[in-house]
Structure 1
Amino acid sequence: MREFDYRRAQDVPGALALLDDAPDARYLAGGTNLVDLMKSGVERPARLVDVRELPLDRVETTPDGGLRVGATVTNSDLAAHPDVRARYPVLTQAVLAGASGQLRNMATVGGNLLQRTRCAYFADTTKPCNKRAPGSGCPALSGEHRNHAILGASDNCVAVHPSDMAVALTALDAVVHYETAEGQGASPLGEFYLPVGDTPHRETALPAGALITGVSLPPVPVAVHSRYRKVRDRASYAFATGSVAAALDVRDGIVHDARLAFGAVASRPWRARAAEQVLIGAPATPDTYQAAADAELAAARPLPHNAHKVPLMRALTVAVLSELAEEATR
C-alpha cells in the first residue's frame, strides 16, 4: 500500500479544503470499499480525509413529508430507522441484503453510493481495464463475464454496479446532495450515475472534489407497498446476480402506480421505465407483469456466458410484482 497522509475533518468546509489541498486525495468514511482497493493497489490516494465525524449522521423528515438521510448515516442505522421501515420498506430490505452485519455497521450511505465495481479485471492491477486504466481494453468481453451487464453496456466496459441500496433509491426517485468549494448542488439519482459509453472511468456526475452530504427521499405513497428481491450464488454476503426493487399500487384490480428498478444488470442501477409504462393502468395480472418485464428486457444484449440473466430477471420481476399485488388484496 502506498504511504499516505491522514487528516480528520471537523466540518464540511474543512473537509473540502483538505481534499483541495492535496493531489489524489480521497474522502474516507466507513472505508469498507476504499481500504480494500488501496490494499490491492487500485486506489493510491496521497491523502485520506476522514469525514466520519462530520454532522451528517441523521435521518430527518423534510418539509414536503419525505426524508433526508445524512451521508455518514451507517447502513445499519438506515435499515433500522422506523420511518424508513414503515414508509420505504424496499430500502430497508435492500440495505439488509447488501452485506454482513459487521460491514453494515461501518459502511455509510455516501460511501455506498460511490462503491466501485467488483469486476475481477478491475480489481487485478496486472490486467487491462478501461475503468481503471482508460484505453487499456476490457478483457471481460471475451473472458469471465457471468455476472456482468446485459443492459446499457458498451464495447468499452461490461461491469455492473454492485450497490443494493442504490437500486432501491433509484426506484424511489432519490436525490443526491453534495457540496463543493463553490457551493451546494444536487443530482437526481437517475442522473447521478453516468452511462458507460466510451468513458467507463467516469462513473458519476459529481464535480471534482465534491463531498456527498446526504440523500433525500421524496414522499412516495406507493413505496409503502414495496419490496426488494435479490438473487445471488449463496444465501448471504454475496453480490447480486440480479435484483429487483419494486413498488406497486393496485386498486380494483388495476395498477395505479408502479416503480421498478433492476440491479446487477448494468453499470448503474437500472430504472425500468419501459416496464413501468406497461404496468400503469393495466390489469394487475401475471400476464401484465410478464409483458412489463419483456418490454424492459427487449433492450438486453447479453454476452455468451450471462444470457441466463434475461430469463432470471423476467421471472424475478413477475414474482415480486405478483407478491405485491397479492398483498394489496388482503
Structure 2
Amino acid sequence: MISARFHPRRPSVAGGPGLAALLLACLLSMGCGGVSGDDDDDADGDGDGDADGDGDGDGDGDGDGDGDGDGDADGDGDVTVEDVCDEAALAFCESAEECCGTGWPGGAIDQCADAFGENCIRRLGTAAADGDILLDPQAVPGCIDGLRATFAGCPPFEPDGNVSACDDAFVGQLGEGAGCDDEEECEEALECFWYGDDEGTCTLMPGGGEECLDRRCASGHACLEDYAGVPTCFPIGRDGDDCVTFDDWADTCAKPLFCDQNDRCVPDVSLGRPCDAHRQCLSNECTGGTCTGEERPPIEYCDPDQFTFDD
C-alpha cells in the first residue's frame, strides 16, 4: 500500500505504513509470473497439478498434493516463499540505491535486501504455508512494475510508486471475524484490525463518510473530526485531488500536500515562503504569514541505513 503521512494533530490511518510496510504490502507477490509445474510456457502449472485448493491434506496449504509449498504439483519446490521474499526485497532496495548518484557501498544492497527479505519470511511465510495467502500469478507483472518503481523520480519525502497493483497479486483467504496477523491474510475489502492487546481480526473497516472505528479507517482514508465533531473517515487526497479543509492544522490531503483555496491538494510550502495556515508548510509551522521552524529531513538515498528494517 502507498503510505501517507499527516499533519500534526491529525489522527493516523490504520496500519500507517512507512518504508518497511510499503514493501511488505508487496513482498509475497514477486517472482511467480510464468512459473509452472509442467514443461510448457503457459504458467498455469497444469502438468497436471494446478493449485486448486482441493484440501489434499499434504500440509503445505497450496492444495496441489505435493507438499513442497510452491503451488504447482511437480514436487520440485521451484517457487518458495523464501525466493519470493528475497527477490522482492532486492527489487525494493535497488530502487532506492538508484537514487544515490555515487551508489551504495559494497554489500549494502545485500544487507538491505536480507533485512527486508528475512522479515517477509518471518511474517508471511507461515501464512502462505497454511494457505491463508494464495498467489495470483496473472497479477504479478503489474505488482513488479510498481515495486521496481517505488522511488521513481527520487521523491524527497514519501515514495509514491504504484504498488497498489500488488493488492491483486496475493489473495487473502480469511473471512470477516477470523483471527489474523497481517492484513494480507484477509479476504478482499477486509483488513487486519487490532484493538488494544487483542488478537488481530479481519474487519471491514469504515470508508469515506462513515464514522471511524477506534479512530481508524480503511486503507486510503484518514480519520478526522467533521464539522459536527464526529470522527469520520475521509479519502486521502493526492496531488490535484479534491479536498476538504477543517482548520489551520487539518485537511484531507496526504503529506507533503495541503488543501488550497480551490479545494485541491497541492505541494506544501518551503521555509521562508508565504503561508496562511500551519498545514500549508513543510515545517508545519506558519508564523506571521511565513513558513518557519524546521522542515523534516528528506530521504537520504545515499544512506543505506535508512532502508534497514527495524522491528
Could you tell me the TM-score, scaled by structure 1's length? 0.25
Higher strand share: 1
Could you tell me the TM-score, scaled by structure 2's length? 0.26
| Structure label with greater radius of gyration | 2
Higher helix share: 1
